[in-house]
Amino acid sequence: MNTLKCAAALGVAILLSSASVAAAEDNEAGVSLSPSEAAGSWTLESGGHSICTLKLGAVKIAGGAFKAQAPADCGDALPSGVAGWTPSPHGMNLVGADGQTLIGFGRWSNSLLVSHPSSGVDVQLRRGT
């Protein structure tokens, strides 16, 4: 019986230590996205399926936002009229040409941003294509 308790305690210790290592490796959750971190390709996903690829830039455009390119094949997953992006306290926002926020994304990790739009269907931006 003592062997079983020791094995269980060891298992719990391993789980706890690996969770803290994972948290230490990803200390960017909930932090504003900087232009240099954002620059590049991001895959828009919903329901576990890739929808389209957005390109975020580090160059400012009119209105103080940074350049963003969202192709037409993103369909209804994104609001129409995305012209740029801006950092937000918890990640970033995609904005229209007038600078108004169209959709906000919370930063979950260095390579994952998640939005919970009012439609109830979560959309994610993952680093890369």
What is residue 27's predicted lDDT score, i.e. its pLDDT? 57
41 vs 68: CA distance, rounded Å: 10
pLDDT at 21 over 90: no
Higher-pLDDT residue of 65 and 117 is 65
Residues 24 and 70 in one domain: no
pLDDT at 16: 38
On whether both 24 and 41 belong to a single domain, the answer is no
Span 84-106, average pLDDT: 94
From CA 9, how far away is CA 23, in angstroms rounded? 21
pLDDT computed for residue 120 by the predictor: 75
Tell me which residue range forms the domain holding 60. 35-127
Examine the domain organization and report whether 23 and 43 are in the same domain: no
Residues 59, 23, single domain; the answer is no
Q: Are residues 108 and 76 in the same domain?
A: yes
What is the percentage of the chain residues whose pLDDT exceeds 70?
78
User: Where residue 47 sits, what CATH number does that domain have?
Assistant: 2.40.128.10
Total structural domains in the chain?
Answer: 2
Rounded to an integer, what distance in angstroms lies between the CA atom of residue 6 and that of residue 122? 42
pTM here is 0.75
SS3 label, residue 72: helix
What mean pLDDT comes out for the span 14-32? 50
H-helix segments, the chain: 2-25, 35-38
pLDDT reported for residue 75:
86
Are residues 47 and 21 part of one domain?
Answer: no
Check: CB of residue 44 under 8 Å from CB of residue 115.
no
pLDDT level of residue 18 (50, 70, 90 thresholds): very low
Residues 123 and 69 grouped into a single domain:
yes
Give dist(CA 56, CA 84) in Å, integer. 8
Do residue 24 and residue 81 come from a single domain?
no
Examine the domain organization and report whether 21 and 49 are in the same domain. no
Let me know whether 80 and 101 are in one domain. yes
Residues 24 and 40 grouped into a single domain: no
Average pLDDT, the chain: 80
